Amino acid sequence: RMLSGYKPKNDIKDSYKILELEEGCSLDDVRNSYRNLAKKFHPDSSSGMADSTAFIKVEEAYRVVLNDLAAKQKSDPGEEEEDQFKSKSLQHRHYLSFEGVGIGTPSQREKQYMQFRVDRATEQVLEYRQQRLESLYAGSDLSRAKDVRQSKKVKITQAVERLVEDLIQESMAKGDFDNLSGKGKPLQKFSDSPHIDPMTHNLNRILIDNGYQPEWILLQKEIRETIEQLRKSIVASRRKLGEPMTLLEQKQWGRICEQFAEDIRKLNKRVDNFNLVVPILSRQMVHFSTDREILRAQKTYQAVVEKGSDSDMKENEGQEGK
């Protein structure tokens, strides 16, 4: 409003200097330079160099340069029409427009515009997903056929259930269930423990009747079988070496003990897993000691050797008596 009736008084050369341009530049260069200077000197901008006097000079120089370019274009034949060089609406507020969204100060309008962009992007994503789903299900005969098969399967299942229920009711009417054992007696719903609800008791009974065993029972059985196999194997290895052992047999026995220690370490990992899943604290197991197991194997071997020597002595005495 203040500049609507104002007539510029600057010289053309001074106007180019104010816009930091040289004569002969293009219209785009003039507009870009004016936009940058407007952002710098406009009173409403948040720039530290905002100055209304400097902005008025920039506005005046911009109009002078536009008129000069329009006059040159009018004098030069073969160029574009002069309408595009006519004075257009002021551009110094375009960078604050935010597509016409928001009210208040520039910073408030900027925040409102950012939220508007987020909402618009969300709506576009939802529209894209909706169109994609519609395109997938619109021309998909396989999905329709699958739905038809599923509906048929449900109908067949329901028909079978109704047929079975009708047969049961018919048998009950005929008296086929009158000779069953336990007729007229109350069902045994509860177990010996009053702390177990009937549902849990019945489920446990069904599982036990069908041979189900909990995980900790299977782990415990596996650990016991493994330690027995290891004990038998190390005793058998010691018996193969004989008594007394040579230097080579002692080295071989050392390798057997190392392998046995590795097997015990793996077995102790299973013990840890067992202790994590066992429901009763008193059923937890302790780790197996390698040294104790080797010492036990040696004692077992000594007992076997002594028993064998006693049996040999008895046989020799029996042969001497004969």
Res 150 pLDDT > 50: yes
Between CA 113 and CA 116 the distance in angstroms is: 5
pLDDT score of 19: 82
189 within domain boundaries: no
Sign of CA dihedral 9, 14, 20, 23: positive
Residue 67 is part of a domain; what is its CATH number? 1.10.287.110
132 within domain boundaries: yes
191 within domain boundaries: no
Res 4 pLDDT > 80: no
Task: Tell me the percentage of the chain whose pLDDT exceeds 70.
Answer: 77
Tell me, yes or no, whether 224 and 302 share the same domain.
yes
Tell me, yes or no, whether 20 and 65 share the same domain.
yes
181 within domain boundaries: no
2 within domain boundaries: no
Please provide the DSSP assignment of 124-175 as one string.
Answer: HHHHHHHHHHHHHHHS-HHHHHHHHHHHHHHHHHHHHHHHHHHHHHHHHHHT
Tell me, yes or no, whether 106 and 146 share the same domain.
no
Lowest mean pLDDT among 93-97, 127-131, 194-198, 309-313: 93-97
Structural domain including 273 reads 215-309
Under 8 Å CB-to-CB from 45, ≥6 apart: which residues? 38, 39, 96, 106
Tell me, yes or no, whether 52 and 64 share the same domain.
yes
- The number of domains in the chain is 4
**Tens-place pLDDT, residues 123-136:** 888 888 888 887 77
